[in-house]
A = this chain, B = another copy of it.
Amino acid sequence: MEINKENISDWLKELQDSICSALEKADGNAKFSEENWTREEGGGGRSRVIKNGAVFEKGGVMFSAVSGKVPEFLLKEKEHAVNVDGKSTFYATGVSIVLHPQNPMVPIIHMNIRYFEMSNGVKWLGGGIDLTPHYINEGDAKYFHTELKEVCDKHNPHYYPEFKKWADDYFFISHRNETRGIGGIFFDRLNADDEMSFEKNLAFWKDIGSAFSGIYTELISRNKNKSYTDQNKQWQLLRRGRYVEFNLIYDKGTKFGLESNGRIESILVSLPLHASWEYNFKVQPGSEEEKTLALLNKGVNWV
């Protein structure tokens, strides 16, 4: 089948369907609600949100396919600005996921995969998947990274080490000197190079998207029935506060969305239902909270 933007978008919609259905099954209680929206400048999206579930407190699995004139900042980039002018157009399509669980022992997860093309023929793929446990469980962390590494290794042995480092650098809260969680992989502007054709990279990118449900439902079933205390819940709220800080201050997708007249509710669905900030909160020496905090660093080898 020919690769074109329409069938990439169609594939993403099917992915959204299959992920929502796997997550509803994992929750066992709540169902996704859906809004279809359009964007004045071109395109639109299909937002699916779940809340007050047995497993999920709040989460979104969002599909979008938007188009319009190429934004100013891209026109200025030499590398991709061949044959572009004020009339050049772009098409961007992707699936974005953030899930905030009820139980503090279940990690927050995020995935985004996106495809971008311009009318001058330039096109690229991007994506990322990262895990933010409120309490780091080293077995789960190893499982998560091993699964990602396997998907990467199937396509290119350089991808996991390179994209794992990229995630460490990207999902970093610099004013706290903490990583957001245990990272994962992040990549952007993946195109064709000497080693890999665009078709091969597309296959890798699809494999990442397809791996999501299996990895996260495994982490859910490992942890959803664990008991927790009020103190665990309070810590979860504080960690969600950090998640808010990252998304509002550093996240490029959020920033781009807010500045480019995106659909605010779809962009900010990544924020938790409840979050908390305590002044000068200190973890207790020897506590599980202290252990987690000590592991929120770049460069940890989880595999």
Residues of A in contact with B (beta carbons under 8 Å apart) = 35, 49, 51, 58, 60, 175-176, 237, 241, 244-245, 248-249, 258, 264-265, 268-269, 271-280
A296 CB to nearest chain B CB (Å): 15
Which chain B residues lie closer than 8 Å to A258 at the CB level?
175, 249
Cβ 8 A contact of A280, one of B237, B265, B272, B274: B265
Q: How far is the CB of A254 from chain B (nearest CB, A)?
A: 9
Q: Which residues on B sit within 8 Å (CB–CB) of A244?
A: 244, 248, 275
CB <8 Å contact, B265 and A279: yes
Of all chain B residues, which has the CB nearest A268? B277
- Cα A58 to Cα B60 in complex, Å, equals 31
Instruction: State the copy count for this chain.
Output: 2
State which of B51, B175, B275 has its C-beta within 8 Å of the C-beta of A264. B175
- Complex Cα distance, B241 from A35, in Å, reads 22
Most B CB contacts (10 A, CB to CB) among A258, A274, A277 go to: A277
* Contact partner, A279, options B58, B176, B278, Cβ 8 Å: B58
Q: A244-B244, A264-B175 are in contact. Are A280 and B35 (CB under 8 A)?
A: yes
* Contact between chains at A274 and B272 (CB < 8 Å): no
Shortest distance in angstroms between A28's beta carbon and chain B's nearest beta carbon?
21
Taking the closest CB of chain B, its distance from the CB of A177, in whole angstroms, is 9
> Which residues of chain B have C-beta atoms less than 8 A from A272's C-beta?
277
Identity of the chain B residue whose Cβ is nearest the Cβ of A259 in the assembled complex: B175
Q: CA A175 – CA B237 in complex, angstroms?
A: 25
| Across the A-B interface, the 7 shortest Cβ-Cβ residue pairs | A271-B277, A248-B248, A175-B258, A265-B280, A49-B279, A269-B279, A274-B276
- With A175-B258, A175-B264 known to touch, is A51 a contact of B245 (CB < 8 Å)? no
Min CB–CB distance A60 → chain B (angstroms): 7
Q: What are 19 A-B pairs at a CB distance below 8 A?
A: A35-B280, A58-B277, A60-B279, A175-B258, A175-B264, A241-B271, A244-B244, A244-B248, A244-B275, A245-B268, A248-B249, A249-B249, A249-B258, A272-B277, A273-B277, A273-B278, A275-B275, A275-B276, A275-B277
